[in-house]
Structures are given as C-alpha cells and as structure tokens.
Amino acid sequence: MSIRYVHKVDITLAGKRDQVNRALLALSGEARHLFILIDEAQEFNNREFGWLKAVINSLSRAGVKVTTVLFGQRELKQRREELYRDGRSDLGVRFMKTVYQFLGCRKEEDFLAICEAVDRKSEFPVGSQLTYTQLLFPKAFDGGFRFANHAGMMWEVVRRTVPSVKLRNGLAMEAVASILAEAAIAFKDRDAKDMTLSETIIEEIVIQKLKEGL
C-alpha cells in the first residue's frame, strides 16, 4: 500500500507516528478496514515490529480493523525465531503466528495461474486498466492472444527440459517471471492479431535460463 503522503513530515518520532496514524485512519474509509502488505519483511528488526504494533494498536482503538500480511525471503523464518528467542513472543504472535511457504511452480496448474494473472489480474502502469499482456502486445491481445492459452505448451517445454529434481522442489517465482519476461522480449516485434508463441523459441529461452542457473 502506498499512502502517497506529500505533506511536511514531522521531525519527532512521536509526531511521525501521529502523522502515520492519521493518514492510515483516513485511508480506512467507510469500511474502517486496512490491509497492510509488507514486502521484504525479513529486513524488519524488533524495534520496527514494535513500532508497527503501536501504530496498529492505535488504529484498533479508533475502531479500524487491520489485516497485516508479510512477504519475505526464507530469512523471514529466522526473524520469527529471533522474536520468540528475544522475549518478544507478543510480536511473533501478532505478525507471524502463521507462516505459509510458497512451494514454487511444480505443475501445469501453477504455471497456468501465473499466466492468467499476467493476462487478467495485473495492471501496469497503475491506473491504466491495462494488463501486462495488453500493454506488451496490444494488437495480439485484441486478436485474442493470452499467455494462458499457451501455458500447457510452455509447461511441457519446462517439464522436459528442466531436471526433475528442480521441478520437485518447484520453480521459484523469479524463474517463472524470467521465462515469461524473456518470451515477451523475444516476441516484442511480432505483435499482430494472429501472433502465437513458438515452441522452439520457448525451448531456447528455457535452455538459456538453465545455463544461467534457473
């Protein structure tokens, strides 16, 4: 969430906290509910988690329901252990009581879901109402092109090219995103209503990614 705060920031810590509280309170709207999504949360330390708890407590006292979701690398599990070890189980329970691990892309259905997100559930630039597919290939998109329609073919290339041990562990989102990004680059000059993805080119992309340490 970006609050797009443009006013003068208070110098004191207490003043900054008050400004954050008031900005978040305004953003809660009529629903009186905020979703706070934090990326790279493994970078948070105990004091910062404590500060966030204080902010959320203040919002709760004002009648605002707050849902906090942390995203992070595997080090986030270590941060959770540190909270409990350092006597801050209150913070551990508040922010990391339940931990879900992304197991990676291990089957065609997983790959299809990602392609569908690119086709239908994305937006870039923000506010444009354009999905990534529509932005990258406007003519092909109008002609019915969707990455999801080629997900089966692309996953079959991955299945026969990538070592089985890697697939059992699951392809990281970074690897899947890299394959799709390279596909977009490879076909960037072929935008047309009848555009389709070449299995040969997709295989070349996957093989190259393997050489790069996919």
DSSP string, 118-140: HHHS--SSTTS---HHHHH-HHH
Size of the chain in residues: 214
Same domain, 123 and 206: yes
Q: Provide the mean pLDDT of the chain.
A: 88
**How many folded domains does the chain comprise?**
2
Each residue of 66-109: pLDDT tens digit?
Answer: 898 998 887 888 888 888 888 888 888 888 888 887 778 999 99
Let me know if residue 7 belongs to a domain: no
Same domain, 79 and 165: no
Distance, in Å, from the CA atom of 68 to the CA atom of 205, rounded to the nearest integer, reads 37
Q: What is the rounded average pLDDT of the residues 196-210?
A: 96
Looking at 74, 96, 118, the residue that finishes a domain is: 96
Which residue would you say has higher pLDDT here, 137 or 76? 137
Let me know if residue 205 belongs to a domain: yes
Let me know if residue 113 belongs to a domain: yes
pLDDT of 44 higher than 70: yes
Same domain, 76 and 112: no
**Domain span at residue 181?**
108-211
Closest of 196, 123, 200, 209 to residue 156, by C-alpha: 200
Q: What is the rounded average pLDDT of the residues 38-62?
A: 88
DSSP, res 34:
E
Distance, in Å, from the CA atom of 164 to the CA atom of 155, rounded to the nearest integer, reads 13
pLDDT of 207 higher than 50: yes
The pTM of the whole model exceeds 0.85: no
Residue 27: per-residue pLDDT: 80
Same domain, 113 and 54: no
Let me know if residue 102 belongs to a domain: no
Alpha-helix residue ranges (DSSP H) falling in 43-196: 46-61, 75-85, 89-96, 108-120, 132-136, 138-142, 151-161, 164-169, 173-186
